[in-house]
């Protein structure tokens, strides 16, 4: 949508000041979109906002102000519409923008919850004391499902401005100072694991509240303690302060490096520039091994648990391959490196999370009632996962095409103004 010289002249007539003082009154729905570097605060986007506003003023200016003959009704309406944004308080615009962004980020999760609860209501499951078993499988499986979607998004280049797309983190200037301070993806993974373990320690006995503890209850509590400690270890590994303190034994020798001129030997290793944290993968690997041999009340339930446990083991092995590749060839570009093993990681997490949800007592009982074996849920989940991953790739490819087109139009508009 090119900005014409006519619109620019009309805008300058109404606002004699510099074009650099313009402010946007409409909210751009393309939040967080990025080009190759992923920086959403770049100069190109600020030009884009100015060009869009010029076009807005050009389309909404009263015709009698630009020399064209128009009806007085339209001229009055245009004047009113033009002054409405100026009458809105700034705090109200910021508050509305905050809630808009919050809903925009959470709307996919809301949709997932709506679909999941719809299946639960339609199937008539999770009644009575079974609600605790159903909630546990739905929430935990849902976390792994979204973990897989985010892992696939990282492979495709999402969150590259935070350095999460297996790339170098862009410095301040290319991205905002806030984005440059965002912790690594491995730290976030470790924190979620830590948060899960620290909260679920007290929730594993809800189904038998007031009753005797069973061996299965103790097994579940032990798993949450493993998440608690493993997540904490992962966060400590990601801490630069802890890393600096662990190097304290060499601090005395470091003081004499200038005297002996061994500067190259004191240069931080290349691996320091990228996070290679094995604890998230290790915790999920152990969880998969435990669930693969976890005793259940029926053979079908045991087989279903073994399926998603094996898939989680597959995720951990694929993540280990990713770290081996990164160790041998650390990222040297701001562009996503896209290790192929992460596609396998995301597939195992998405499918494993869905089977995790379906492994609750009521769903397994319904499968047994209708003479469905464990491979039924496995094959259906594999097909749905492949389709869902393809759909996510298409959606993000369309987003990238839209961003490219807007950038080319912005360049063309600046050329017209020049």
pLDDT tens string 230-288: 999 999 999 888 888 888 777 666 555 555 556 667 777 777 778 889 999 999 999 99
Residue 107, CA atoms < 13 Å, CB-side half-sphere: 7
DSSP for residue 175: B
Confidence band for 217, pLDDT divided at 50, 70 and 90 = confident
The H or E element containing residue 105 is: helix 90-123
pLDDT of residue 218: 83
Give dist(CA 312, CA 278) in Å, integer.
Answer: 14
Residue 92, pLDDT above cutoff 60: yes
pLDDT of residue 292: 87
117-148 confidence digits (pLDDT tens): 999 999 889 988 889 889 989 999 999 999 99
Of 53-62, 99-108, 232-241, 314-323, give the range with the top mean pLDDT.
Answer: 314-323
Tokens of 413: 């508009």
pTM (predicted TM-score): 0.75
Collapsing DSSP to helix, strand or coil, 16 comes out as coil
Give dist(CA 94, CA 27) in Å, integer.
Answer: 10
Select the more confidently predicted residue: 17 or 134.
134
Residues whose CB falls within 8 Å of the CB of residue 354, separated by 6 or more in sequence, listed in order: 141, 145, 381, 384, 385
Q: At what angle do helices 299-328 and 361-369 cross, to 10 degrees?
A: 120
């Amino acid at each position: 949508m090119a900005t014409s010289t006519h619109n620019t002249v009309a805008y300058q007539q109404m606002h004699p000041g510099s074009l650099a003082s313009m402010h946007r009154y409409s909210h751009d729905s393309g939040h967080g979109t990025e080009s190759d570097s992923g920086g959403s605060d770049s100069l190109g986007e600020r030009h884009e906002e100015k060009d869009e506003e010029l076009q807005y003023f050009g389309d909404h200016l009263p015709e009698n102000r630009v020399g064209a003959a128009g009806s007085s009704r339209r001229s009055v309406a245009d004047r009113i519409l033009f002054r409405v944004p100026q009458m809105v308080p700034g705090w109200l615009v910021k508050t509305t923008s905050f809630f808009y962004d919050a809903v925009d980020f959470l709307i996919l999760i809301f949709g997932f919850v709506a679909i999941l609860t719809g299946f639960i209501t339609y199937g008539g499951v999770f009644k009575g004391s079974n609600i605790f078993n159903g909630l546990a499988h739905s929430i935990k499986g849902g976390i792994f499902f979204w973990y897989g979607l985010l892992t696939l998004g990282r492979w495709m280049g999402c969150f590259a401005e935070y350095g999460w797309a297996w790339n170098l983190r862009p410095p301040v200037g290319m991205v905002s100072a806030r984005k440059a301070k965002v912790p690594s993806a491995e730290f976030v993974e470790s924190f979620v694991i830590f948060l899960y373990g620290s909260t679920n320690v007290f929730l594993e006995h809800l189904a038998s509240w007031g009753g005797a503890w069973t061996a299965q209850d103790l097994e579940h509590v032990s798993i949450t303690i493993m998440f608690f400690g493993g997540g904490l270890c992962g966060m400590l590994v990601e801490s630069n302060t802890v890393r600096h303190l662990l190097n304290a034994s060499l601090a005395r020798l470091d003081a004499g490096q200038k005297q002996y001129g061994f500067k190259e030997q004191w240069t931080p290793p290349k691996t320091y520039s990228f996070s290679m944290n094995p604890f998230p993968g290790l915790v999920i690997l152990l969880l998969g091994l435990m669930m693969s041999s976890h005793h259940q009340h029926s053979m079908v339930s045991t087989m279903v648990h073994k399926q998603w446990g094996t898939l989680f083991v597959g995720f951990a092995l694929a993540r280990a391959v990713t770290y081996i590749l990164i160790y041998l060839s650390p990222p040297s570009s701001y562009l996503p490196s896209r290790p192929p093993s992460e596609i396998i990681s995301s597939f195992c997490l998405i499918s494993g999370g869905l089977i995790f949800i379906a492994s609750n007592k009521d769903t397994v009982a319904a499968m047994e009632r209708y003479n469905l074996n464990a491979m039924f849920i496995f094959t259906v989940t594999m097909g749905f996962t492949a389709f869902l991953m393809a759909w996510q790739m298409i959606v993000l490819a369309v987003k990238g095409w839209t961003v490219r087109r807007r950038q080319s139009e912005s360049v063309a508009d600046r050329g017209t103004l020049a």
